[in-house]
Amino acid sequence: MDVAKILSELKEERVQIEEAILSLERLARGRGKRRGRPPAWMSEITAKRRGRPPGSKNKPAVEAAVAPAKTIAVA
């Protein structure tokens, strides 16, 4: 094992980690209420979901027609 080589690699990693930390700190500091349309790269990340959420109580008409009708007792 070459100790000098290991040290140089660790120092390079430390520089990269410090740069990543600084970038994340800038992002966290700059967060606030954003105005306007989000950038194109951000809209690609978030998938647009439309329609009913999974497990919603309101079933579509197709499922209601398939389900057996409840009988009502008349007194």
What's the mean pLDDT in 14-23?
94
What's the mean pLDDT in 48-64?
67
Distance of alpha carbon 59 from alpha carbon 52, whole angstroms: 9
Distance of alpha carbon 62 from alpha carbon 50, whole angstroms: 18
| pLDDT tier for residue 74 given thresholds of 50, 70 and 90 | low
Give pTM, 2 decimals: 0.39
Start-end of H helices in 1-75: 3-30, 40-45, 61-66
